[in-house]
């Protein structure tokens, strides 16, 4: 990876709905320094000051504990967000509403004493996929379609290790959009439709039920078939070497992956390997190899 700054070490963070994980990425080895990682809980429904203080305190702690020169910050950030300008437009999602419209880039730059140009943001799903392509399950392939399956449905396409957001979650699907069908809430909704029972533990609970529960098995089978149908157009157009699956729902892959693999054969399917570090590595790549596809 070729870098734009003298130091190969980039302060990187992944902002989730209730936490922040931060660490140092060594761009020469495309890896996170394991003892640099800090995770903190964040009151996402708190005031702007509470949210920003929690974030900056964690970032400052990583810098304080490091012996390396650090002049750059890369953030994996959920949307809606203006990634170029660093302004949050998160609203109506039960998190981070207090920072709506705020210039988060300037907040971080000022707090950390960094130049504004050395603070960059990238979509969190795109980051996770980019990290896996650079250093994990997607590394052996030249062309990869990646998806993240969790509270939302993320997607990106990587060619020659350059990864760009596909935003397939906003595409129309059935009576709504794809994000409503390929995320945790669909599993909960569909199981309730079949059984009249509510899943309080989401897909993790459904996976625990699946070995002895026909309805749970049916939900996973329907999911595999719907995902096949939805992805077919993008796969046909982009002709990837592999499909990469990231996100917490991937942990239940035993119950849908065999059917999905059969449906999409001979396309290779890979499961994410790096856990939370993938988003940290993918965010740092905003300074090294993240350019728009041409």
Give the CATH number for residue 231: 3.30.420.40
Structure tokens, 222: 């329907």
Q: Is residue 173 part of a domain?
A: yes
* Backbone φ/ψ region at 57: left (φ over 0), alpha (ψ -120 to 50), beta: alpha
Q: Is residue 3 part of a domain?
A: no
Q: Is residue 292 part of a domain?
A: no
* Backbone φ/ψ region at 27: left (φ over 0), alpha (ψ -120 to 50), beta: alpha
Residue-range definition of the domain harbouring residue 82: 9-127+277-287
Residue 1 has pLDDT above 70, yes or no: no
Do 163 and 92 share a structural domain?
A: no
Q: How far apart are CA 64 and CA 255, in angstroms?
A: 44
Structure tokens, 202: 């989401």
pLDDT tens per residue across span 252-276: 999 999 999 999 999 999 999 999 9
Give the relative orientation of helices 184-195 and 214-238 as an angle to the nearest 10 degrees.
Answer: 140
Q: How far is CA 93 from the centre of its chain?
A: 17
Do 154 and 115 share a structural domain?
A: no
Q: How far apart are CA 257 and CA 262, in angstroms?
A: 8
Total domains, the chain:
2
- Predicted local confidence at residue 294, as pLDDT: 26
Cβ contacts of 283 within 8 Å, gap of 6 or more: 12, 13, 14, 25, 74, 75, 76, 120, 122, 127, 131
Cβ-in-10-Å burial (0-12, 13-18, 19+) of 69 comes to exposed
Do 181 and 205 share a structural domain?
A: yes
- Predicted local confidence at residue 292, as pLDDT: 34
Stated length of the chain: 294
Residue 191 · residue 220 · CB < 8 Å: no
Helix (H), strand (E) at residue 122:
strand 119-123
Do 100 and 169 share a structural domain?
A: no
Do 256 and 162 share a structural domain?
A: yes
- Predicted local confidence at residue 17, as pLDDT: 86
Residue 25 has pLDDT above 60, yes or no: yes
Q: How far apart are CA 166 and CA 185, in angstroms?
A: 21
- Predicted local confidence at residue 138, as pLDDT: 98
Sort strands 38-41 and 87-88 into parallel, antiparallel or unpaired: unpaired
Q: Is residue 49 part of a domain?
A: yes
Do 150 and 69 share a structural domain?
A: no
pLDDT category of residue 90 using cuts at 50, 70 and 90: very high
In the chain, what percentage of residues exceed pLDDT 70?
A: 96
Least confident of 65-69, 81-85, 146-150: 65-69
pTM of the model: 0.93
Do 92 and 39 share a structural domain?
A: yes
Q: How far apart are CA 163 and CA 158, in angstroms?
A: 4
Helix (H), strand (E) at residue 24:
strand 19-26
Q: How far apart are CA 261 and CA 240, in angstroms?
A: 14
């Amino acid at each position: 990876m070729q870098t734009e700054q003298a130091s190969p070490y980039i302060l990187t963070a992944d902002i989730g709905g209730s936490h922040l994980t931060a660490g140092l990425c060594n761009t020469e080895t495309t890896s996170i320094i394991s003892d640099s990682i800090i995770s903190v809980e964040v009151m996402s429904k708190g005031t702007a000051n509470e949210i920003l203080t929690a974030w900056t305190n964690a970032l400052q702690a990583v810098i304080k504990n490091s012996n390396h020169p650090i002049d750059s910050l890369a953030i994996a950030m959920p949307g809606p967000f203006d990634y170029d300008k660093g302004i949050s437009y998160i609203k109506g999602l039960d998190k981070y509403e207090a920072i709506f419209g705020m210039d988060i880039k300037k907040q971080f730059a000022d707090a950390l004493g960094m130049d504004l140009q050395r603070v960059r943001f990238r979509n969190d799903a795109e980051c996770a996929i980019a990290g896996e392509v650079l250093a994990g399950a997607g590394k052996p392939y030249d062309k990869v379609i990646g998806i993240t399956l969790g509270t939302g449905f993320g997607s990106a396409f990587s060619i020659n290790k350059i990864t760009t957001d596909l935003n397939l979650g906003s595409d129309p699907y059935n009576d709504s959009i794809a994000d409503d069908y390929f995320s945790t809430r669909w599993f909960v909704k569909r199981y309730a439709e079949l059984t009249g029972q509510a899943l309080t533990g989401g897909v993790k609970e459904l996976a625990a039920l699946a070995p002895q529960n026909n309805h749970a098995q049916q939900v996973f089978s329907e999911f595999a078939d719907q995902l096949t149908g939805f992805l077919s157009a993008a796969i046909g157009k982009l002709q990837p070497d592999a499909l990469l699956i990231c996100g917490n729902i991937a942990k239940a892959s035993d119950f849908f992956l065999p059917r999905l693999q059969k449906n999409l054969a001979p396309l290779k399917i890979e499961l994410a390997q790096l856990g939370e570090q993938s988003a940290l590595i993918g965010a740092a790549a905003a300074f090294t190899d993240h350019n728009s596809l041409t």
